[in-house]
Structure 1
Amino acid sequence: MRRALILLAALAATPASAQSLLNGLFSDHAVVQRDRPLPVFGTAKPGETVTAAFAGQTLSAKAGPDGAWRVDFPATPAGGPYTLTASTPSGSASASDVLVGDVWLCSGQSNMEMQVGASGDAWNQINNGAPNDTIRMATIEKADGRAPAADYKKPPVWKPTNKDNVGAFSAACFYFARELQKTRKVPLGLVHASWGGSGIEAWLTPTALRKVGGYDDAIETLNLSIKDPAAANRRWGETIKGWWSAKHPTEAAVAPWTGAGPWTQAPDGLGVWERWGVPALAEFNGVVWFKTEVTLTPTQAKQASTLTVGQVDEMDTTYVNGVGIGATSGAWLDRSYPLASGALKAGKNTIVVSAYDTYANGGMYGDPTKRALTLADGTRLPLTAWTYRIEPRVGVDQPRAPWDTLAGVSTLYNGMLAPMGPYAYAGVAWYQGETNVGRDQTYAPLLQALMAERRQGQAADLPFLVVQLANYGAFAERPGPSGTAALRDAQRRAVTADGHAGLAVTHDIGNPYDIHPGEKQEVGRRLALAARRLYGEAVTTGPEVVSAKRVGDTVVVTFAQVGDGRLAARQSDHVIGFELCDAANACRWADGRIDGATVVLSGAGTKVRFAWADSPVFNLFDAAGLPAGPFEVPVQ
């Protein structure tokens, strides 16, 4: 009994926020940023005095009304290990074996998320790689949010590089650090925060998105969803109605949310539509509308209720009697939507689900018994007889809800980056863009906004490294449009316009048949070259276009950053991959020859394209073996 009382007393003396007295990144084996003032922060009881100690320095601060506290230790050179402590009258926290070095934030979507164990030469790299206690890795748990989170979904854990840990970490991030440390011989801390399939908008704050422009309505709807979810769902339902009506201006009488129009009986249990045996759905990515009906008595209709429709791959917008009542992204999530009293009516009630799939399988799947309407009195009415209609793929695809996990606004910033607070880092490596293909016109300003935002509270010249999209998809039999090439060019333009950004070109090391190429060691090497160049080292990162000028009956394309000062055409005495385009945007292949650091194209045009295809075929490299990156530039 006495031991139990002692234990209870000890627990009572520890603040409820003891786990976050030090921010979760300040944990055992952490790496903190060298040579800059070091912010250390966390959460205590409001008004408490927090005393923090690190590397022979002791500082104090008072927690604010929200419990937040922060101290800034003087700049510390690379070294360690040290112990970091924080204490209050009611509790304490510490992090041991802390190194001081360079901290890199690695972020993006699935190609940054791809683990060492899933990349090329994995077994050899994991089992024969040398352990390295000075490269340490921490992964931020996946989490989204409609407002900035104050803490992590799960506290990150720092791990040293060894065969037990490295296989589960980001391959591009790890190989970048391993290469960089060959010349930057300091401890390296890697913080990985990625989510496959995510759009860049999900990683930006509302403030940044408003500056870019065009996101006000989405942000207002997101904010409304926090204060009044039902009103936000109704508003979003109207947004989808507007999208559909714009595509079908003369078909209001058969709008799908009304239940009217042509519907086809769906298979029992529904499931993945690619497996139905319906030719039109065999490889369909897009929107399929689903409908069912439920008949209620007047007593039943008066009750509040809950509608469950199970799992939907990958996004749904759900209507009851023509009113939007919910929208969720994530194929792994069961949909459950509350309905207030008055949402239902006596007699027939129409339930319509818009299921939007963008990749691989689609449909309403999982346990069919989960689809039901459950009334407040406990009555459960199964939803079984479903019909469907296919939405033709014409024009712009269906919008995504602003709280969509992967394609919403600010959702991943809120859930994964906001908890990091002002944790100091040396630079950012960004590998993302596949999800934004088709929206290249907005990507460059969004990427510039992301760079500016990640530098806030950090160094003004913080290096920002961008991995350009790899080759994936169709080869070009003739010049034409390419959404992937346009996105690559947007990445190039954003990096070129920024004085402290670098580009890792990868359109020669991808896989035309796999959007997740396994060659991540070379990605890491090229990222390291980009970082070293930003550090002022005499290295090149591959030929960069400078200009295209008309000279007689030719166009001369000039390049900078040419390794060993000369361009090289592989396996030919001519350069392939160039196009000359006229004012009407009609393009043709252009024959090219190398002249030092220039390529001379035969013919005339108003602009030049290079490697303009999803999976381009080209042969222009420099003497150092690095490829010329894709581009579109005007002819001067």
Structure 2
Amino acid sequence: MVLQRDLPIEVAGNAEPGSRVEGTLGDDTANAQAGPDGRFRLTFSSHDAASEPMTLTVSDPTGTARLSGVLVGDVYLCSGQSNMELPVVRALNVSNELRMAGDEGLRLLQVPKVTASTPVHAFGEAAHWQAASGDTAADFSAACFYMGKQLRADHPDVPVGLIHSSWGGSAANAWLSPEGVRILYGEQPLARLRQYDQDPLAAARSFAPEWYDWYRGVSGGSEPWKDSAQLDWRPIPKFSFWNEWTGTGLDTNPNGLVWLRQTFTLTPEQAASAGSISIGAIDDLDMTFVNGAPVGYTFGWGTERTYRVPAADLKAGKNEVLIAAWNAWDTGGFYAGPDRLFFSPGDGGDAVPLGADWDYAVMRTDEAPPRAPWDALVGTGVMHNAMIAPIGPMRVKGVAWYQGEADVGQPGYADRLRELFAGWRRQFGDQARMMVVQLAGWGTPQAEPVASGWAELRQQQLDAVVADDNAALVAATDLGEPTDIHPANKNVLGKRLAMAAEGEPMPMPDSAVLTGDTIRLRLSGVEGGLRAIGGPYGLGVELCGEMQESCRFVLPALQGDTMLIRTDQGGPVARVRHAWSDAPLINLYDERGLPVPGFELPVAQP
């Protein structure tokens, strides 16, 4: 592994409660006493960068743990969603890059993908540091790996440690520390997470009223959990993803909410004791009811569901199970075969099959249902708790964050980034530099100025970086691919991340001032002046009044680090924008090849 240079080195772990713990790191020693819970923390003195491996030993009266091959250098955490997760094998120039990937001074740690309701000390699965090689780098984060590779090239005497902890589709909420959750949302989400840990059924029933309110709102007041006859039921064509139900409309538009219904028969003895209902895996999300009572909520397209059903919710004879299944992308509905769906009586008797002959009813709405705090992808802090907290108090030099696609359209992203920054620094040290990748372009390029949720999120990324004293915005808009939300050019992105990690200034909007009939838009962090690639003018620059329909493209003249924009062509002048669309076409760079990011600035007027 690699430990952070030039800072005190902290090592945490478990030992016998109250026992004396002693540690050595090379020639350095430290000691501590384990607390009543067995937790301890050793603090070693700071070390210079060291490529010669050292040994770390930690001992208590029961034995000694020994780790060899420890280097000292710079450590970075890389986190986010699928664009940070995208592996080297899906980036560019794969065969050559893997052939040259071997480097004993570049160490990689892949954090297992697990969630937890409260912070834990250990990873959900075994995790091991490994030296970079063609084999170990292949499935590692490409953006993170290429950042580390460039840092090693720039400073070959400094080992680099990369910790990759990402999850495709995850929202920023999932990575918040408990303190960040409390600051943004109060105690209720944390209380519900604790409740879910202790009693998932009680947590589901606590969350259900919020789900009820949403459904009544989008359905005009319908309450099918009280009376399923309110819905227009039809037999499912076959037991499969509903994408395969030809002629139902779900085969051409699989996104939205579909109700699934089945009955099962219990004897008086079976109904007299609590049982559990297994419904296989539902893609993506379910809210499940038995005889009108909510029994569970889960997000996860490959996650099998088993929910406890109290005896009070069962009856002798026919019982009804309703599943409100929500699909947001690709396939929807049943993921596992019908053999995975059954009711298990609490008396230990034989399981009651639910069979394959279900009914379905479609409820079309574009409004997504509310998500529970324990939701796998957007639950408050569930990824921090299992994928960040177990890293412990080790120092890191910086954090590379590539996420935001899942938060487009959700207000308050800049606030979430602020609390993410604060949570990482509480754990890894105030020195940690934050590098935020501004979303790459994706979608259909537009010929006219448009409103854009992606552009608005890019602006919030920029705002969060500007508000922080030790952060950098790494533009990736130009690296996007219109038809692929996961662009392959992480090779160049990694180099830009390395520049940000080393503190190189990045092009950033500074001010826009109207003087006469010309706006002088100045950018900071520009090296060698602005350059328009492929022509004499910068593209993707707009002037706007207060309303979207007032926005129009303009052609700025370039003068060093400044754009000169004439306003004598008419139209209101309140804001200036650059790269303001989901998939903008841009050509403004400085001489290092760093692009001007997407932004909106108010125009200061005399």
Scaled by the length of structure 2, the TM-score of the pair is 0.94
Segments of 5+ residues of structure 1 without an aligned counterpart are 1-29, 534-538
Aligned to 1:389: 361
Flag the 1:246–1:482 CA change in 2: closer, same or farther, 3 A.
same
Compare 290-299 and 430-439 and name the one that shifted more.
290-299
Aligned-pair distance for 1:130? 5.3
Aligned-pair distance for 1:111? 1.3
Report 1:126-525 matches (<5 A).
126-127=98-99, 129=100, 131-185=102-156, 186-212=158-184, 214=185, 216-248=187-219, 250-252=220-222, 254-255=223-224, 258-278=227-247, 280-281=249-250, 282-377=252-347, 378-383=349-354, 384-394=356-366, 396-439=367-410, 441-525=411-495
Aligned to 2:535: 572
Instruction: Tell me the alpha carbon deviations over residues 404-459 of structure 1, each in whole angstroms, 9 at most, x when there is no partner.
Output: 111101111111111111022111111111111111x2110101111111111543
Instruction: Tell me the alpha carbon deviations over residues 235-291 of structure 1, each in whole angstroms, 9 at most, x when there is no partner.
Output: 22222111111223x433x53563132333243543212221236322332222222
Aligned to 2:554: 591
Aligned-pair distance for 1:56? 0.7
Task: State how far apart, in whole Å, the 1-side matches of 2:92 and 2:247 are.
Answer: 37
Amino acid at match of 2:598: P
Aligned-pair distance for 1:100? 0.8
Instruction: Tell me the alpha carbon deviations over residues 19-61 of structure 1, each in whole angstroms, 9 at most, x when there is no partner.
Output: xxxxxxxxxxx11111111112211111221111112122222
The question of 1:601 aligning with 2:565 is answered: yes
Q: What secondary structure does 1:461 align onto? A: coil
Asked if the contact 1:259/1:350 (under 8 Å) is kept, the reply is: no
Amino acid at match of 2:140: F
The question of 1:626 aligning with 2:597 is answered: no
Compare 190-199 and 549-558 and name the one that shifted more.
549-558
Asked if the contact 1:590/1:602 (under 8 Å) is kept, the reply is: no
Task: State how far apart, in whole Å, the 2-side matches of 1:264 and 1:548 are.
Answer: 59
Aligned to 1:9: none
Compare 356-365 and 382-391 and name the one that shifted more.
382-391
Report 1:8-19 matches (<5 A).
none
Q: What secondary structure does 1:284 align onto? A: coil
Flag the 1:421–1:130 CA change in 2: closer, same or farther, 3 A.
closer
Asked if the contact 1:209/1:446 (under 8 Å) is kept, the reply is: no
Q: Give the total of aligned pairs.
A: 594
Amino acid at match of 1:270: F
Task: State how far apart, in whole Å, the 2-side matches of 1:531 and 1:484 are.
Answer: 25
Flag the 1:297–1:89 CA change in 2: closer, same or farther, 3 A.
closer
Aligned to 1:581: 544
The question of 1:123 aligning with 2:95 is answered: yes
Aligned-pair distance for 1:322? 2.1
Asked if the contact 2:218/2:365 (under 8 Å) is kept, the reply is: no
Aligned-pair distance for 1:529? 1.1
Residue in structure 1 matching 2:517, options 539, 543, 553 = 553
Instruction: Tell me the alpha carbon deviations over residues 151-195 of structure 1, each in whole angstroms, 9 at most, x when there is no partner.
Output: 122232111122232212111111001112233340111111111
Identity %: 37
Task: State how far apart, in whole Å, the 2-side matches of 1:599 and 1:614 are.
Answer: 23
Q: What secondary structure does 1:293 align onto? A: strand
Aligned-pair distance for 1:340? 1.6
Scaled by the length of structure 1, the TM-score of the pair is 0.90
Flag the 1:148–1:594 CA change in 2: closer, same or farther, 3 A.
same
Aligned-pair distance for 1:616? 0.7
Task: State how far apart, in whole Å, the 1-side matches of 2:101 and 2:258 are.
Answer: 51
Asked if the contact 1:61/1:69 (under 8 Å) is kept, the reply is: yes
Amino acid at match of 2:381: S
Task: State how far apart, in whole Å, the 1-side matches of 2:15 and 2:103 are.
Answer: 35
Instruction: Tell me the alpha carbon deviations over residues 439-481 of structure 1, each in whole angstroms, 9 at most, x when there is no partner.
Output: 1x21101011111111115432321111111111232233222
Segments of 5+ residues of structure 2 without an aligned counterpart are none
Amino acid at match of 1:616: P
Aligned to 2:65: 93
Residue in structure 1 matching 2:83, options 104, 111, 118 = 111
Aligned-pair distance for 1:321? 2.1
Q: What secondary structure does 1:182 align onto? A: helix
Asked if the contact 1:479/1:587 (under 8 Å) is kept, the reply is: no
Instruction: Tell me the alpha carbon deviations over residues 506-549 of structure 1, each in whole angstroms, 9 at most, x when there is no partner.
Output: 0101211111111111010110111122xxxxx442x3111222
Q: What secondary structure does 2:478 align onto? A: coil
Aligned-pair distance for 1:347? 4.2
Amino acid at match of 1:320: V
Task: State how far apart, in whole Å, the 2-side matches of 1:200 and 1:359 are.
Answer: 19
Asked if the contact 1:547/1:559 (under 8 Å) is kept, the reply is: yes
Asked if the contact 1:107/1:431 (under 8 Å) is kept, the reply is: yes
Q: What secondary structure does 1:280 align onto? A: coil
Flag the 1:257–1:386 CA change in 2: closer, same or farther, 3 A.
farther
Asked if the contact 1:577/1:612 (under 8 Å) is kept, the reply is: yes
